[in-house]
Structure 1
Amino acid sequence: MRVSWHVAVFVFPFGSHATPLLNLVKRITASAPENVKFSILGTAESNRPIYSGAKDDDEFTNIKAYNVSDGVPKDHVFTGNALLEQIGMFINATPGNFEKAMKEAEEDTGVKISCLLTDAFLWFAADLAQKIGVPWIPFWPAASCSLSAHLYTDDIRRLVAANGKRVEMIPGFEGLSINDMPREVLLDNEQSPLALLLHNMALNLPRATAVVVNSFEEIDPALTLDLKSKLQKVLKIIPTPSMAAASKKTSSFRVYDNDECLEWLKKQDDASVVYIGFGSVCIPPPDEMVGLAEALETCKTPFLWSLKDHARKSLPAGFVDRTSGYGKFVSWAPQMEVLASGKVGVFVSHGGWISILESISNGVPLICRPFFGDHGLNSAMVELKWRIGMRVKDGVFTKNGTINAIKLILDGEKEGKEIKENVKLLKGLATDAVKLPNGSSARNFQELLEVITKP
C-alpha cells in the first residue's frame, strides 16, 4: 500500500493527556483512507500500551510508535515534586526530541510528514509545522471552559492585579470568580514552567489550522462562539457512544477483567449507588478520607469505591468490615461501564474533564472535590453553569458536608430533581451531537478528516 498522507502525532505523556488523543487517532484510522499513516511520537512510557496492543489489534495497522526522549538524565534521582520535575525536563528536551523522532518516522516510511496532530500543550509544533509547510492541528483533551481561561490569561492576570473578583468579561463565565480559574492562569510565568507552557500555548493557538476540543458544542454555546471568534477553526468532537463504551478496554489500550464490581452493581437498585473515583493520581488527604468514610457509613447508601490498596490505610479502623453489607471496594473500576449500568445515582469525582464527560454521557449527577489544574473550573461549571451536580462544601470532604451533598442529589425533592433533569438533558444533547450525518460532533469529525487528507 502506498502511503499518501503521513500524520505525526505528538503526545504530552503526563496525566490523562495521552488517552483521549490516542483514542482520537484510533477513531480517525477507522474512518480515514487506508493510505493515511500515523506515527505516534511519545516517550517510551506513553508508547508502551501501543506496543503491547499492536500484537493482536487490527486497529493498529496504520499506526506505529516512535520514542522521544523524556529529557531525564540517566540515574537521575528526583527530589521534591517528581512529576513537576519530570514535566520540566521533558519540556526542556523539546523540540529537539520530537524533530529527531520525526526524521526517524520519515526515513522509516519513506514518506514526508504531511500534518502535525499534537497535544495542544506542545505549542512549539506551530513553528515546526510552519517550517515544513504542513497543517498544525492541536488537540485540547479537556473542557472548552479551561481552554477559554488560558486564552484569556492576560486579561485574567490584569484583573487579579486590579483586585477584581469576577471574570464576567469571558463569555460563558458569568457568575464565576477568580478563585475558580486554573492556578497556572493566575501565576506569573516565572513562577511555574507549566504556567509558561500554557501561556505560550494560548499565544500560539490562533496559528493552528484547526483546534480539536474533546467536547460538544451544545454544552456551552457562548464559549463555543467565543472560541470560534479567536481561532481559525474550532472542531468540538465528543467520543462516540460505541467508543466510549468499548467493552473492558480502557482508553489507554490496556485490557482489564473486572467483572466482580459489575456483578455487584447488578444486584443494586437503579440509581441508588454512590460511585467514588478520583482518577489515577488524586487521593484525598487522610482527614478527608475519614470524613467521606463517616458520611458513607452514616448514610448507609450502597457505594462502590475505586481506591488503590495502599490508600485504604487512611480509612477509619474497621470501616471496610462494617460497610461490607452495602459497600464495595475495588482497586480499579471500568468507569464507563459502571456509569452506564443505570445503578449509579451520583458520581463523587475529582472534577477531571474525562470523568465529567463520561458522567454526562450516562446521565449521572456529580459531587466534585477538585484537586488541581482544571478541576476547580470544571467543578464550578458543574455546579453554577451546567447545574448537573455540586461541589463539596468549602472544597473539602467533611462528614456533615458530604452527607448533605449525597442526600441532596439522591433524595432532594427540588434541587436534586433539577440536577437529575439537567444532566439527562445534557446527555440527550451529547447523544444528538454524535448522530450521523448532522450531529455537530459528527460534522466536525468529517471536517477533521478533510483537513488531514487535504491534497
Structure 2
Amino acid sequence: MEREQGATLTHIVVLPYPLQGHINPMLKFSKRLATKGLKVTLLTPKSIVESMKGQATSVTFEPIDDDDDSGELIAAETMEAYDERFKAIFSHGLGGLIEKNKSYGYATKLVVYDCILPWAVDIAKQHGIGAAPFLTQSCTIAAIYYNLYQERFTLPLQEPEVLLPSLPLLRMDDMPSFISQPASYPFILRVCLEMFHNFHEVNWAFCNSFDKLEEEVVSWISSQWPIKNIGPTIPSMYLDKRWKDDKNYDLSLFKPSVDACMKWLDSKDTGTVVYVSFGSMAALGEEQMEELALGLKRSNRYFLWVVRESETKKLPTKFIEETTERSLVVTWCPQLEVLSHKAVGCFMTHCGWNSTLEALSLGVPMVVMPQWSDQATNSKCVMDVWKVGIRVKVDNKGMVTREEIELCINEVMGEKRKEMKRNALKWKKLATEALDEGGSSDKNIEEFVAKIVQI
C-alpha cells in the first residue's frame, strides 16, 4: 500500500520516435509501468493518437499537432529537415507537458525517450528532472554503435572481419548497413552515434530485449552504462499471460485481414505454412520481388505472404491466380496471431528487431532476408548465435535468387526443422520467464519503479 500511494504521485513522460516499430515497444513498456502503479503519459503526434481512438489503455496520450493539414507527419523534403522540425515541435511539447503536469499537482519525475532523440535529456534537465533512453533495437546493435562511438574501430572498415568485446566475429555484411555502407547513410549513422554523447548523464537505459538472449553482451554493456532489459515487449497474453486484456499492439497503421488469414490458416495442417512478411517499411525492387515470388512458388509449400498495397504492383503477372491453391496474399495481417498459429512452420522475414523478437518469443524458426539498418546483424544472431534460422545468400549482383529462396525454405521446413524448432521453443520459454513474476525483465522494472517513486 505504501508503494501504491507513492506511485500514484509518480509521473513518467514517454517520448517515442513516431514510427510504428518504435511506438509499440515503448507503449508496451509504458503499460507495464502503469500496472506497477505509475502514471504514464505518451507524447506523440495527433495523427497517431487519432488512429488509436476507441482503444482502452492505462496510458494517457498527449497529442502534439502534426503541423501539416495533409495528415502526414511533419512533411519535410529530407531526413535532416524532418529531424529538425520534429525536434523543434516536440521539444516545445515536452517542456509544455512537464509544466502542465506541475499545475495539476503532480511532478514529472522522468522522461523516457527514444534513444535517437538525445536532445530530450537537455529538455528534462532544464526542468530539473531525469531522463532515460529506450533502445528499440538489440543490445548487440547498441554495443556495435557504442564501440564505434568509442573509436574501437573506424570507418570505412579496413578489415573483412571485426572482433569486438562480447560479440561474435562480424563480417562486413553482418554489420548494420549504416556502418557497412557509411557513405549511403551519413545522417542516420551520425544519429546512431550521437545518442551516446549523454549516456553518462542517465541513471537507466532501457532495452527491448531480455538478459538470457544476449547474456555476454549485456554483461559487457553493464560495465559501460546502466542497461536494463525490460523485454520482449510482446503483448502479455502471448507470453506471461498476467494481463488478460493485453492481447494486441495498440498501434497498427495498416488494416489487417484478420478473418481471411485465420480462416485460411485453420484449414492447414500443423507446421505446413511459410509466413512471409517484410514489415511496414521494407520495399523490394521489382526484380527481387519477382525472384521472391518465384522462389515461393518453386518451394511447393503453402505460404501466407504480406504484400503491402504499395508493393502489389511489383508481383509477377498472374502470380496470385497461378498460386491460389497453395497461397494467400494479403496487404497486412495480425502478425502475432499468425506466428502463434499451429499451421505456421517458419517465418520468412527481413529480420527487423520487432519481428525477430516476436518469432523468438513465439517459437518460430526463420528464413532471414535482411534489407538494411540492424537487420543483417539480427540475421547473424538468428543463424549463428541463437540457431533458429537460415540467412539467404546474395549473389554477385546483390540479388537473392529464386533457387536460393527455394533451397532455404525447404531446409528450414525440412531437414533442419526439428533442431531449429527445438532451439526456438527454448528461447520462447526463456522470453516468457523473463517477463513473468520474478523474471529478469520483471525484476528490472520492479527495481526501477521502487527507485523512481522515492525520488
State TM-score, norm by structure 1.
0.87
Residue of structure 2 aligned with 1:128, choices 114, 123, 135: 123
2:15 maps to 10
Q: Does 1:236 align with 2:240?
A: no
Are residues 247 and 404 of structure 1, via their aligned partners in 2, closer, same or farther at CA, if it must alter by over 3 Å? farther
Instruction: Report the 3-state secondary structure (helix = DSSP H, G, I; strand = E; otherwise coil) of the residue aligned with 2:377.
Output: helix
State the shift of 1:293 in Å.
Answer: 1.2
Residue of structure 1 aligned with 2:414, choices 411, 422, 429: 411
Instruction: Report the 3-state secondary structure (helix = DSSP H, G, I; strand = E; otherwise coil) of the residue aligned with 1:118.
Output: strand
Q: Does 1:249 align with 2:248?
A: yes
Task: Give the aligned residue type for 1:19.
Answer: N
1:102 maps to 98
Instruction: Report the 3-state secondary structure (helix = DSSP H, G, I; strand = E; otherwise coil) of the residue aligned with 1:209.
Output: coil
Task: Give the aligned residue type for 2:109.
Answer: S
Residue of structure 1 aligned with 2:64, choices 62, 67, 79: 67
2:110 maps to 115
State the shift of 1:426 in Å.
Answer: 1.5
2:82 maps to 86
Q: Does 1:38 align with 2:32?
A: no
Task: Give the aligned residue type for 1:433.
Answer: A
For residues 393 and 236 of structure 2, the distance between their equivalents in structure 1, rounded to whole angstroms, comes to 36
State the shift of 1:74 in Å.
Answer: 12
Instruction: Report the 3-state secondary structure (helix = DSSP H, G, I; strand = E; otherwise coil) of the residue aligned with 1:264.
Output: helix
For residues 67 and 295 of structure 1, the distance between their equivalents in structure 2, rounded to whole angstroms, comes to 45
1:48 maps to 50
Deviates more, 1:217-226 or 1:379-388: 379-388
For residues 231 and 297 of structure 2, the distance between their equivalents in structure 1, rounded to whole angstroms, comes to 40
Per-residue deviation, residues 229-282 of structure 1 (Å, max 9, x unmatched): 111342333236624477873341788661221111011111110101111111
1:215 maps to 209
Q: Does 1:175 align with 2:169?
A: yes
Are residues 128 and 422 of structure 1, via their aligned partners in 2, closer, same or farther at CA, if it must alter by over 3 Å? same
Are residues 127 and 157 of structure 1, via their aligned partners in 2, closer, same or farther at CA, if it must alter by over 3 Å? same
For residues 383 and 74 of structure 1, the distance between their equivalents in structure 2, rounded to whole angstroms, comes to 41
For residues 33 and 304 of structure 2, the distance between their equivalents in structure 1, rounded to whole angstroms, comes to 34
Instruction: Report the 3-state secondary structure (helix = DSSP H, G, I; strand = E; otherwise coil) of the residue aligned with 1:393.
Output: coil
State the shift of 1:132 in Å.
Answer: 3.2
2:242 maps to none
For residues 251 and 257 of structure 1, the distance between their equivalents in structure 2, rounded to whole angstroms, comes to 16
Q: Does 1:398 align with 2:397?
A: no
State the shift of 1:69 in Å.
Answer: 5.8
The 8 Å contact of residues 351 and 378 in structure 1, kept in 2 or not, is answered as yes
Instruction: Report the 3-state secondary structure (helix = DSSP H, G, I; strand = E; otherwise coil) of the residue aligned with 1:41.
Output: strand
For residues 190 and 241 of structure 1, the distance between their equivalents in structure 2, rounded to whole angstroms, comes to 36
2:338 maps to 338
Are residues 69 and 332 of structure 1, via their aligned partners in 2, closer, same or farther at CA, if it must alter by over 3 Å? closer
Task: Give the aligned residue type for 1:406.
Answer: I
For residues 229 and 200 of structure 2, the distance between their equivalents in structure 1, rounded to whole angstroms, comes to 14
For residues 41 and 235 of structure 2, the distance between their equivalents in structure 1, rounded to whole angstroms, comes to 26
State TM-score, norm by structure 2.
0.87
Instruction: Report the 3-state secondary structure (helix = DSSP H, G, I; strand = E; otherwise coil) of the residue aligned with 2:197.
Output: helix
Are residues 167 and 330 of structure 1, via their aligned partners in 2, closer, same or farther at CA, if it must alter by over 3 Å? same
Instruction: Report the 3-state secondary structure (helix = DSSP H, G, I; strand = E; otherwise coil) of the residue aligned with 2:62.
Output: strand
2:153 maps to 158
1:388 maps to 388
Are residues 5 and 350 of structure 1, via their aligned partners in 2, closer, same or farther at CA, if it must alter by over 3 Å? same
Instruction: Report the 3-state secondary structure (helix = DSSP H, G, I; strand = E; otherwise coil) of the residue aligned with 1:137.
Output: strand
Instruction: Report the 3-state secondary structure (helix = DSSP H, G, I; strand = E; otherwise coil) of the residue aligned with 1:202.
Output: coil
State the shift of 1:411 in Å.
Answer: 1.0
Are residues 182 and 162 of structure 1, via their aligned partners in 2, closer, same or farther at CA, if it must alter by over 3 Å? closer
Provide structure 1 residue ranges, at least 5 long, that are not aligned to the other structure. none
For residues 350 and 129 of structure 1, the distance between their equivalents in structure 2, rounded to whole angstroms, comes to 36
Per-residue deviation, residues 27-46 of structure 1 (Å, max 9, x unmatched): 221x222xx43222222233
Are residues 167 and 333 of structure 1, via their aligned partners in 2, closer, same or farther at CA, if it must alter by over 3 Å? same
Task: Give the aligned residue type for 1:121.
Answer: I
Per-residue deviation, residues 87-128 of structure 1 (Å, max 9, x unmatched): 453246563443234334444x34332111211112122233
Residue of structure 2 aligned with 1:197, choices 188, 191, 196: 191
For residues 90 and 250 of structure 1, the distance between their equivalents in structure 2, rounded to whole angstroms, comes to 24
Are residues 248 and 318 of structure 1, via their aligned partners in 2, closer, same or farther at CA, if it must alter by over 3 Å? farther
State the shift of 1:150 in Å.
Answer: 1.7
2:370 maps to 370
State the shift of 1:300 in Å.
Answer: 1.7
Are residues 396 and 349 of structure 1, via their aligned partners in 2, closer, same or farther at CA, if it must alter by over 3 Å? farther
Instruction: Report the 3-state secondary structure (helix = DSSP H, G, I; strand = E; otherwise coil) of the residue aligned with 1:268.
Output: coil
For residues 278 and 342 of structure 2, the distance between their equivalents in structure 1, rounded to whole angstroms, comes to 20
1:23 maps to 28
Task: Give the aligned residue type for 1:295.
Answer: G
Structure 2 matches for 1:418-433, cutoff 5 A?
Answer: 418-433=419-434
RMSD over aligned Cα atoms: 3.1
Per-residue deviation, residues 179-220 of structure 1 (Å, max 9, x unmatched): 322233467799733322221212222322111111111012
Per-residue deviation, residues 340-379 of structure 1 (Å, max 9, x unmatched): 0121111111111110111011111111111221112111
State the shift of 1:329 in Å.
Answer: 1.2
Task: Give the aligned residue type for 2:36.
Answer: A
Residue of structure 2 aligned with 1:143, choices 138, 146, 149: 138
State the shift of 1:47 in Å.
Answer: 3.0
Are residues 72 and 444 of structure 1, via their aligned partners in 2, closer, same or farther at CA, if it must alter by over 3 Å? farther
State the shift of 1:424 in Å.
Answer: 2.0
Provide structure 2 residue ranges, at least 5 long, that are not aligned to the other structure. 240-244
For residues 111 and 315 of structure 1, the distance between their equivalents in structure 2, rounded to whole angstroms, comes to 55
For residues 298 and 73 of structure 1, the distance between their equivalents in structure 2, rounded to whole angstroms, comes to 43
For residues 69 and 219 of structure 2, the distance between their equivalents in structure 1, rounded to whole angstroms, comes to 41
Instruction: Report the 3-state secondary structure (helix = DSSP H, G, I; strand = E; otherwise coil) of the residue aligned with 2:195.
Output: helix
Are residues 136 and 16 of structure 1, via their aligned partners in 2, closer, same or farther at CA, if it must alter by over 3 Å? same
Instruction: Report the 3-state secondary structure (helix = DSSP H, G, I; strand = E; otherwise coil) of the residue aligned with 1:212.
Output: strand
State the shift of 1:304 in Å.
Answer: 0.3
Instruction: Report the 3-state secondary structure (helix = DSSP H, G, I; strand = E; otherwise coil) of the residue aligned with 1:64.
Output: strand
* Identical counterparts, % of pairs: 25
Q: How many residues matched?
A: 440
